[in-house]
């Protein structure tokens, strides 16, 4: 029985090590200044900009700040799929390329999701405590978003 367990553990370890060699492309475009970026399109207080970049930009932009565990499979693949899906819905770096109608819809959606605490996702804030928005931050962000309507 012990021999079978050792063999199984060895196989699991081998598979874990082997999958580390598959590393999807990083979502990093450092140094790129986007004239279409949300923070360039709107004049906003530094406080609002900082909250958006801390709580939203890792998934909803072309620049993710990775931490060490984001490089370990299978978490890496999950993170990259999450980012890909998030950017399909909203990419803050490409905000200026969206139609006025889409921008208006997204502004309302962002405001609603922040107010109802759907965003940032709790699965994200578990590992990224600094991305959590407290009630005061939610109020500041949603008030600023309402002014943009």
77-101 average pLDDT score: 92
Separation CA 90–CA 55 (nearest Å): 14
Residue 90 pLDDT more than 70?
yes
| Residue 148, CA distances (Å) to 33, 38, 82 in order | 23, 12, 28
Provide the 8-state DSSP code for 28: -
Q: Which pLDDT tens digit goes with each residue over 96-108?
A: 999 999 999 999 9
Report the SS3 class of residue 43: coil
111-122 average pLDDT score: 93
Separation CA 74–CA 113 (nearest Å): 28
Q: What angle do CA 27, 29, 32 make, to 5 degrees?
A: 155
For the chain, what is the domain count? 1
Q: Residue 5: CB partners within 8 Å, gap ≥ 6?
A: none
Round the average pLDDT of the chain to a whole number and report it: 89
| Residue 41, CA distances (Å) to 36, 38, 109, 119, 147 in order | 6, 5, 18, 22, 14
Percentage of the chain surpassing pLDDT 90? 53
pLDDT of residue 127: 84
pLDDT of residue 32: 72
Separation CA 27–CA 3 (nearest Å): 43
Q: Name the residue range of residue 76's domain.
A: 2-147
Look up the pTM and report it: 0.82
pLDDT of residue 31: 66
């Amino acid at each position: 029985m012990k021999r079978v367990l050792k063999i199984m553990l060895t196989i699991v370890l081998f598979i874990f090590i082997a999958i580390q060699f598959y590393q999807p492309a990083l979502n990093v475009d450092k140094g790129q200044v986007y004239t279409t970026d949300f923070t360039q399109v709107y004049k906003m207080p530094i406080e609002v900009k900082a909250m958006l970049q801390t709580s939203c930009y890792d998934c909803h932009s072309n620049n993710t700040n990775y931490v060490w565990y984001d490089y370990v499979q299978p978490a890496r693949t999950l993170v990259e799929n999450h980012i890909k899906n998030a950017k399909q819905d909203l990419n803050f770096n490409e905000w200026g390329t969206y139609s006025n109608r889409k921008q208006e819809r997204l502004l309302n959606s962002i405001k609603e999701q922040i107010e109802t605490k759907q965003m940032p996702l709790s699965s994200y804030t578990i590992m990224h405590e600094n991305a959590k928005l407290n009630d005061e931050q939610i109020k500041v962000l949603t008030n600023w978003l309402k002014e943009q309507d």
